[in-house]
Amino acid sequence: MGYSSICLFIFFALFLGHVFVKLEASQHVYRTLQTCQSFSSSITSQPYRTGYHFQPPSSWMNDPNGPMIYKGIYHFFYQYKLWDTVVWGHSTSTDMVNWTPHDAAIYPSQPFDANSCWSGSVTILPGGNPAVLYTGIDAGNKQVQNLAVPKNLSDPYLKEWIKPPENPLMVPADQIDPGSFRDPTTAWIGPDKIWRVIIGSKINDTGLAILYRSKDFVNWTKAEQSLYSTNQSGMWECPDFFPVSTKSPKGVDTSVIGPNIKHVLKVSLSNYQQDYYTIGTYNITTDTYIAEEGSFDDNSGLRYDYGKFYGSKTFFDSAKNRRILWGWINESSTRSDNLKKGWAGLQATPRNLWLDKSGRQLMQWPISEIEKLRGNQVKWPAKLLERGSMVGITGITAAQADVEISFQTTAFEKAEVLDSIWTNPQFLCPFGLLVLASNGLQEYTAVFFRIFKGQDRHIVLMCSDQSRSSINDDNDKTSYGAFLDLDPVHEKLSIRSLIDRSIVESFGGGGKACITARIYPTLAIHDKAHLYAFNNGTEKVNITSLRAWSMKKAQIN
């Protein structure tokens, strides 16, 4: 938060016509409009504007809000910044690839949300009607939870929302700081016909998922005990709590409990700006969630994504029986560069999410619909990559592509022992992909594997190294790494990278680890970007399969 400018302000004004009027912006806006207009029209031709990742026409976006399917239409809402307030931007789709924009769905209009409409979730009530619970920043700048319901249930686009007079439904109570009480989840209902919802919070430095209960979805009572808390984890934002099947990769609806079900609690740790999750068991009689042994509930735990990915939220897609994950991808550029390009923030490709067979972690994979955008294909037969070699993957648009590559190596005896104090992946580059690479390699981003010898097994590290991604040094070029829970002797080492101009979203081991990078090449743009497979290790590596596609542009907003 804390981001605004006159130019961005005007883009909002243009886009959110009626909200603009309701908020009574000053004439000042019109005076500065002219200077920004030319700038606005050039946005879509910018090299960093993506081709198939969700983004609004301009301005600042962050958290995904209230994703759902209603009457066969996918809805996506998002935190959309309007000078000093935030509204719910709104788009709809039939495939989650191409999106039609609508006016803001929820915007400040009442004392209980006068200063912004922050994040929240949709619950599909029995009978199929959606209800939004969201955080309002009220006239006194307190965070409160409000309800909004569709005005016209016959309208599949749900363009208008009304806020019942009972609002606010939940206000900060007991020791809860009014500035640390936000982001209601999708609610779930028990066999006792009682609704439950959790709200992100903290007391001192203990992060909390405060539990509320209700019989009617309107009158909510705070439970004495939080659903879960972790000492010294700081503020919990955007919690998400949902069941996963232990028997099938299919998704299950949010209220499902019983055998063959585990639960996932995800929190966005504000102190670390990362989304962490635990897998555990939920007892609806006692309303307690117990994270499994070995499932760490602090910042040493499992993450959805080891790169840029925050404030995420899932929903159950009842049309295809799957659970879909949405997450915000922040910029890595400076505030002034963000202002110059006129927009900031993207959404990751919607991902199908399920429990791995091991039960130890979640798996993620881009929704299959995204494959509709695949154009030209390149396919290689198995190929040996000599030590220190690099092979160009040509015949596709390297700046906007989908690449799947698998490796096999047998030289395990020579693997290095993992140094426990090793923290910097920067210089360790054995084999993988070089994406968004310039002629002469002044710029490239390396997405790669490295294998180490562990105590009694091999350890696979997947990395995304941004240190050479741009010759512009103003950007955040942190390199990211994740350990992959797989046995490289018997399983293939695969990477899928969705490359989209300024995003590289990589999935290792079929979805066991994800790393999303934001990069801003200055040379490796448009048709000057190249893609390579490389082996910088001391041993030969086989590429067992490679398929890569040019990606077409989606119709987004």
Ligand X SMILES: *[C@@H]1O[C@H](CO)[C@@H](O)[C@H](O)[C@H]1NC(C)=O
**In terms of CB distance, is 37 or 544 closer to ligand X?**
544
SS3 content of the chain, % helix, strand, coil (to 5): 10, 45, 45
Of 38, 41, 45, 154, which lies in the binding site for ligand X, with binding defined by CB under 6 A?
Answer: 154
Of 32, 141, 219, 377, which lies in the binding site for ligand X, with binding defined by CB under 6 A?
Answer: 219
Q: Which range of residues in 107-115, 135-143, 182-190, 283-291 is near ligand X by CB under 6 A?
A: 283-291
Three-state SS at 17:
helix
Of 59, 186, 330, 349, which lies in the binding site for ligand X, with binding defined by CB under 6 A?
Answer: 330
Q: Which range of residues in 40-48, 105-113, 129-137, 325-333 is near ligand X by CB under 6 A?
A: 325-333
Q: What minimum distance in Å lies between the beta carbon of 541 and ligand X?
A: 6
Of 93, 438, 536, 550, which lies in the binding site for ligand X, with binding defined by CB under 6 A?
Answer: 536
Per-position x/- string for 433-452, each x denoting binding to ligand X as judged by CB under 6 A, each - no binding: -x-----------x------
d(CA 325, CA 449): 25
Q: Which range of residues in 50-58, 89-97, 313-321, 405-413 is near ligand X by CB under 6 A?
A: 405-413
**Residue 231 binding ligand X, by CB under 6 A:** yes
d(CA 412, CA 403): 26
Per-position x/- string for 499-528, each x denoting binding to ligand X as judged by CB under 6 A, each - no binding: ------------------------------
d(CA 31, CA 265): 48
**Residue 282 binding ligand X, by CB under 6 A:** no
**Residue 283 binding ligand X, by CB under 6 A:** yes
**Residue 416 binding ligand X, by CB under 6 A:** no
**Residue 88 binding ligand X, by CB under 6 A:** no
**In terms of CB distance, is 95 or 155 closer to ligand X?**
155
Cα R_g (the chain), whole angstroms: 23
Of 493, 533, 494, 534, nearest in space to 409 by CA: 493
**Residue 410 binding ligand X, by CB under 6 A:** yes
**CA geometry: angle at 244 spanning 238 and 248, to 5°?**
145
d(CA 212, CA 201): 13
Query: What are the contacts of 71-74 at 24+ separation with CB within 8 A?
Result: 71/156, 72/156, 72/319, 73/156, 73/157, 74/317
Of 9, 431, 534, 549, which lies in the binding site for ligand X, with binding defined by CB under 6 A?
Answer: 534
d(CA 25, CA 30): 10
Of 196, 205, 208, nearest in space to 237 by CA: 208
Strands 117-124 and 374-380: unpaired
63: annotated active-site residue: yes
Q: What minimum distance in Å lies between the beta carbon of 330 and ligand X?
A: 4
The residue sitting closest to ligand X, measured at its beta carbon, is: 429
Q: What minimum distance in Å lies between the beta carbon of 332 and ligand X?
A: 7
**Residue 175 binding ligand X, by CB under 6 A:** yes
Residues in the chain: 557
Residue 172: DSSP 8-state = -
**In terms of CB distance, is 203 or 378 closer to ligand X?**
203
**Residue 147 binding ligand X, by CB under 6 A:** no
d(CA 259, CA 338): 48
Of 542, 547, 553, 557, which lies in the binding site for ligand X, with binding defined by CB under 6 A?
Answer: 542
Q: Which range of residues in 26-34, 128-136, 296-304, 534-542 is near ligand X by CB under 6 A?
A: 534-542
**Residue 115 binding ligand X, by CB under 6 A:** no
Return the beta strands (E) in 30-99 as ranges.
Answer: 59-70, 73-82, 85-93
d(CA 454, CA 418): 6
Are 245 and 233 spatial neighbours (Cβ–Cβ below 8 Å)?
Answer: no
Strands 445-453 and 416-417: parallel
Q: What minimum distance in Å lies between the beta carbon of 11 and ligand X?
A: 18
**Residue 155 binding ligand X, by CB under 6 A:** yes
21 phi and psi angles, rounded to 5 deg? -65, -45
Strands 383-385 and 541-551: antiparallel
Q: How is residue 61 written in tokens?
A: 């976006």
Q: What minimum distance in Å lies between the beta carbon of 265 and ligand X?
A: 16
Catalytic residue among 63, 275, 305, 402: 63
**Residue 387 binding ligand X, by CB under 6 A:** no
Amino acid identity at 114:
A
Q: How is residue 290 written in tokens?
A: 């117990």
**Residue 336 binding ligand X, by CB under 6 A:** no
Of 63, 331, 443, 500, which lies in the binding site for ligand X, with binding defined by CB under 6 A?
Answer: 331
Q: How deeply is 437 buried, as exposed, middle or buried, from its count of CB atoms within 10 A (0-12, 13-18, 19+)?
A: buried
Q: What minimum distance in Å lies between the beta carbon of 512 and ligand X?
A: 21
Please report, as ranges, the residues that interact with ligand X according to CB under 6 A.
152, 154-155, 175, 203-204, 219, 221, 231, 273, 283, 285-286, 310, 330-331, 333, 384, 408-410, 429, 434, 446, 534, 536, 540-542
Q: Which residues are catalytic?
A: 63
